């Protein structure tokens, strides 16, 4: 794995590139959400993938990977924000130019299916990236001020400090731990196992989230991560939002809390749950790769530095 480097902060007047590395999007929704970035003093450049449809994808694999490579190469673009996730980033991971990305470090931002690209870019380009709300999230009716504030920290760098002032946190395993932050969407983390992009959790703080997965599916994925040693390797574990992960096909079910007890608690690593990170409102951004510490006694997650160079 390459030594991690930070992207530079944004300044008023900087250009932000918007693209769709996975599924296609509603372009009118993207245009409307872009106005929020413009009100922050940023310029917005809409990528060609926003206007393409190839099955359920925003263009072919070559088109999406080509645009992402081009945005990293373009010196006029200072940040790349994913319009949405869905499915498809795993298909382009081996088409990216990681040497190019490392030579042109800039903010890369998204979550959900974008998890695969976070893992790939971290491993092969050594760039700190951001697990944060995507552009279409800015167009939602229930847009939370903290969700917007995430973007403002890219202009005015700050250090993430998550306490119960944001949301109630529950202790699953007592303790304190420190290490770089890694993780994202549970389904995507599991899909990386056995590939060159497999997530390394050794000595790190692992955070997980997901959406629309029934408890038995969450059970299956956590069981796989457990057997892959990902919980045993981690320094600490952060359980984030599992949105609409309710029983449907199997009405008689374990609760998510019981499943966490089955698969995560036995690892004995400090574990907190309840973080508003993922498919939720607010959706708090996480700088992937930045060192942080967690304490169940303080009910705290705190980064040691900003995710961008000042």
CA–CA dist 296, 306 (Å, integer): 22
CA–CA dist 75, 87 (Å, integer): 28
Q: Which of 118, 124, 119, 64 is nearest to 88 (CA)?
A: 64
From 187, 209, 263, 273, active-site residue = 209
* 257 carries an active-site annotation: no
Q: From residue 104, give the alpha-carbon distance in Å to each of 7, 61, 90, 129.
A: 9, 22, 22, 13
Q: Which of 255, 210, 206 is nearest to 229 (CA)?
A: 206
Residues 202, 238, 82, 73, CA torsion sign: negative
Please give the distance of CA 265 from its chain centroid, rounded to a whole number: 23
* 191 carries an active-site annotation: no
Token digits for 57?
Answer: 């994808």
* 209 carries an active-site annotation: yes
Residue 95: how many other CB atoms lie within 10 Å:
13
From 34, 67, 112, 263, active-site residue = 112
CA–CA dist 8, 206 (Å, integer): 25
From 118, 131, 263, 279, active-site residue = 279
Active-site annotation, residues: 112, 209, 279
């Amino acid at each position: 794995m390459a030594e991690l480097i930070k992207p530079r902060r944004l300044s008023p007047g900087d250009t932000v590139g918007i693209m769709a590395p996975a599924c296609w999007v509603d372009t009118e929704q993207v245009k409307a959400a872009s106005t929020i970035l413009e009100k922050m003093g940023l310029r917005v450049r809409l990528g060609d993938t926003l206007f393409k449809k190839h099955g359920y994808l925003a263009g072919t694999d070559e088109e999406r990977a080509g645009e992402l490579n081009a945005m990293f190469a373009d010196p006029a673009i200072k940040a790349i924000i994913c319009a949405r996730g869905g499915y498809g980033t795993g298909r382009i991971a081996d088409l990216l130019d990681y040497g190019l990305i490392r030579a042109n470090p800039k903010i890369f931002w998204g979550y959900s299916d974008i998890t695969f690209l976070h893992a790939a870019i971290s491993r092969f380009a050594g760039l700190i990236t951001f697990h944060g709300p995507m552009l279409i999230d800015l167009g939602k009716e229930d847009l939370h001020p903290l969700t917007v504030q995430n973007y403002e920290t890219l202009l005015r760098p700050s250090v993430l400090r998550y306490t119960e002032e944001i949301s109630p946190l529950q202790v699953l395993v007592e303790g304190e731990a420190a290490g770089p932050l890694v993780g994202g969407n549970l389904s995507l983390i599991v899909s990386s196992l056995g590939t060159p992009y497999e997530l390394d959790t050794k000595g790190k703080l692992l955070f997980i989230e997901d959406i629309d997965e029934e408890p038995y599916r969450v059970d299956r994925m956590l069981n796989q991560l457990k057997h892959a040693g990902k919980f045993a390797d981690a320094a600490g574990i952060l359980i984030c939002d599992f949105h609409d992960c309710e029983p449907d096909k199997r009405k008689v079910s374990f609760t998510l809390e019981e499943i966490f007890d089955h698969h995560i608690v036995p690892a004995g690593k400090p574990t907190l749950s309840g973080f508003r990170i993922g498919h939720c409102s607010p959706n708090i951004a996480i700088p992937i790769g930045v060192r942080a510490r967690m304490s169940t006694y303080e009910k705290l997650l705190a980064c040691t530095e900003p995710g961008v160079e000042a």
